[in-house]
Structure 1
């Protein structure tokens, strides 16, 4: 159902009056999600929306705290035995939901499974490619060897969920989605997955760690902002993520609500097509071009100059964004302070287009999702207008993320908006996936929708990925970012989101840099 803004405001005012009278169920938590994950197989799709959901039932060896610092999870400790060997000590007494005990064999199986999954839109195998050998030293000790020094292996393993080999060895992704598999160790166990509607969990009373405050959990998929906000105010859910941007200030003033926020590590950017020909790139009359303008770095630089990031952050996103020219967020390891967001410069952009051979511009279609990120459809529309004013006649097409990502990941679109959560405490993983020359064996370029390929960038990133010295590695990452983003304009960073959540009175929540909405970090207040 489509709500007009005025109608929604009227409804919100009426609903807020009744809000305080609604009783808060002590045993059940209902959360409204802005995303619509298409699977609960923890190894099928390397996507934050999926990972956030399955994190309730599955765990990793190493975890990230709300500020993306590494903390123990299923591994109590880890150490570098030598330059090419890591050893992980497993937590004793951990039981899977199927009743089996966590052992080194489950870890070895879980590290192998992602590479065995066919047709993954974005494979988790990118995080295990550096591993050339693995063995169980004993029931609770695993050693992993790499072909070259891999200082970031513990960071990479924050992305690989551990499943019960006994439960999952013969299971397909469909079996996971139909909840025929009980293979996790997390604080909740899956009960039911209704694609496009909800995921239901029950508290796992055999959990090794602190028990959640809630005996039952329902994650409702409510990608439409109005529906999600309405569900909060009507009492259908007690917490929502991605508060509708124009309602954040109003919610802060509502005594019956609490708003939680944090500058996110998610970088929003435009991917650009570096191939010889690109779909949906034409002359201004819609005719095919002999060569692809986006292949020219001057054209990509011109596009960057045409975008007014300040307008996007302050007006389109209601100040829920911080303009950027980096992948890493400010303060994060690897952030390059020399890369500053360009101010809008239409005249400069037109000069670059003329130098590249397009003095009159060209035609372009800009794609994006309309249900995944803060005001994503409005952002895409605004960028389309900015490019058109600069001489690039831009058509805009938006669609639900579930449809959009399928086409974009197959490189059917060529130019569009995407967001990426920069996890693991530094940007190397994101840079490897988004900007590395695609190479399945090396685990590079799994989400390189731009088809960017730069020997200079690859050499810098590869060196960073095997450099143990933090100071040297950070400099290499900064140099790699400068090459890809300030020289090649491989992708066009726009801003980092400010993540927001709102909860009913009596709800306490710990906001996270990675934007994950985790029910075990929600407690009655």
Structure 2
């Protein structure tokens, strides 16, 4: 009898414990722009692919540098980095990681047309494979910030090319299914590091925010990325905030009228009521932006004044220009409240605005094909060094052959800014570097190649079924999620 009772209790315990949910569903408004880890540096792409691919060096959730596929490094001299490759690491195709794969990843980025990650090209001279577990990187000049550039350089298997159908990295998860509406991940049984708790992760792409909220309310998802800051969903859902590391700004083509007119750019800059946007649309969780690097990052200049809201002055400038044409202003539906507010600011100073609120995919296609005069966009700092993650790629003259200005699609070019960027890159003196960054930002606020509006937080809806904290870089890593 006692044996039968033991068996029954054992079976009951087994059924109870097997009910523990081991699948997490994460909702975005759109799919990644690519599944090639060396092509795009936007947040949804990086967030999804970071579960599959890893880099030599990584950031922890607070953006502190930690070893990853490199387990050690040193600088024998001012132009040389020696990097030891972690042993026993396997790609998802069961191939062992070697220094050959790392070298291939470097050269693939350098030669890939359209890659937004070629900033290493301006720094790295040669990559040498010393042996299977050791590589040597020669830089073009003494550069002590190399590691920060390696945190977004995914390591892929040598000669691998099937990124769209079969993403293959060393990460804790591998891809098992891809559709236009979702990507399904499963735990990598051969992972060298700590085994994650979540067995399966599903990233779903649901354009409408109301539908995303409905899914998490009905326990059909565990994380919703990017919801309104005033959302009240249910007691079973947490509203979590990541700090204000996202810069929401206006972008336009400086070769096109009227944006090629300095007075026009100055007018629209003065027309935007940043304080009211922060208060009314973000419930004071956002900060008015007064420069291009957010507060708390290297390169932020605390003594810079706020950008004034002066609609009367802006109106006079518009009249002085004699503008009588309509501008086509676009934004993604996910930021529609901000877009509508900015459009009304424009109208209040006498600008005729054709306003376009678009689904994410249509918006990005329009941006890439130059269909809009002006659009609302954002950038996210992927490292604590704002100079490396923002200034170099966005404001140096576009020079793909040097890996400079790779995000500068708006035709900005100022020799003074280029000179200061080059000087800040090459100097070993922190004070000189900071002085250069300050002067760069000062000049950018005069030229207004883009217009910073707000530093916004990222707001998440999170089920109480899981334990998870947002990262500063906005990446959602399945391995950092615990099941309650």
**Segment drifting more, 441-450 vs 303-312:** 441-450
Shift, 1:459, TM fit:
0.9
Contact 1:264–1:514 (8 Å) recurs in 2:
no
SS at match of 2:267: helix
Shift, 1:359, TM fit:
4.8
CA distance in 2, matches of 1:399, 1:127: 34
CA distance in 2, matches of 1:405, 1:81: 45
Match of 1:193 among 175, 178, 181: 178
Counterpart in the other structure of 1:404: 363
Contact 2:297–2:385 (8 Å) recurs in 1:
yes
Counterpart in the other structure of 1:96: 91
Counterpart in the other structure of 1:303: 268
Match of 2:39 among 44, 51, 60: 44
Counterpart in the other structure of 1:12: none
Shift, 1:506, TM fit:
3.0
Match of 1:211 among 174, 186, 195: 195
Match of 1:233 among 191, 197, 217: 217
CA distance in 2, matches of 1:27, 1:47: 28
Mapping 1:304-453, distance limit 5 Å: 304-354=269-319, 357-359=320-322, 362-371=325-334, 376-428=335-387, 429-453=389-413
CA distance in 1, matches of 2:20, 2:206: 21
CA distance in 1, matches of 2:193, 2:467: 19
SS at match of 1:293: coil
Q: Which runs of 4+ in 1 moved over 6 A?
A: none
Counterpart in the other structure of 1:11: none
Shift, 1:326, TM fit:
1.9
Change (3 A) 1:359 1:497: same
Counterpart in the other structure of 1:513: 472
Q: Are positions 1:496 and 2:455 aligned together?
A: yes
CA distance in 2, matches of 1:157, 1:361: 48
CA distance in 2, matches of 1:449, 1:347: 31
Counterpart in the other structure of 1:176: 163
Counterpart in the other structure of 2:242: 262
CA distance in 2, matches of 1:72, 1:24: 36
Structure 1 unaligned regions, length at least 5: 1-22, 279-291
Match of 2:227 among 232, 243, 258: 243
Shift, 1:186, TM fit:
0.3
Contact 2:263–2:321 (8 Å) recurs in 1:
no
Q: Are positions 1:55 and 2:50 aligned together?
A: yes
Contact 1:111–1:128 (8 Å) recurs in 2:
no
SS at match of 1:115: helix
CA distance in 2, matches of 1:128, 1:400: 35
CA distance in 1, matches of 2:19, 2:434: 47
SS at match of 1:334: coil
CA distance in 1, matches of 2:132, 2:182: 37
Contact 2:38–2:117 (8 Å) recurs in 1:
yes
Q: What is the TM-score of this pair, normalised by structure 2?
A: 0.91
Q: Are positions 1:160 and 2:145 aligned together?
A: no
Q: What is the TM-score of this pair, normalised by structure 1?
A: 0.84
Counterpart in the other structure of 1:84: 79
Structure 2 unaligned regions, length at least 5: 1-17
Q: Are positions 1:272 and 2:272 aligned together?
A: no
Change (3 A) 1:25 1:236: farther
SS at match of 1:156: helix
Shift, 1:414, TM fit:
3.5
Counterpart in the other structure of 2:143: 150
CA distance in 1, matches of 2:128, 2:201: 37
Contact 1:35–1:223 (8 Å) recurs in 2:
yes
Q: Deviation per CA, 1:12-71: give whole Å up to 9, x if none.
A: xxxxxxxxxxx9842211111233213322123232211110100100111112222211
CA distance in 2, matches of 1:62, 1:414: 39
Match of 1:137 among 130, 137, 155: 130
Shift, 1:402, TM fit:
2.5
CA distance in 2, matches of 1:399, 1:511: 27
CA distance in 1, matches of 2:164, 2:226: 25
Shift, 1:344, TM fit:
1.5
Shift, 1:170, TM fit:
4.8
SS at match of 2:163: helix
Counterpart in the other structure of 1:8: none
Counterpart in the other structure of 1:7: none
Shift, 1:507, TM fit:
1.3
Shift, 1:268, TM fit:
0.9
CA distance in 2, matches of 1:451, 1:103: 40
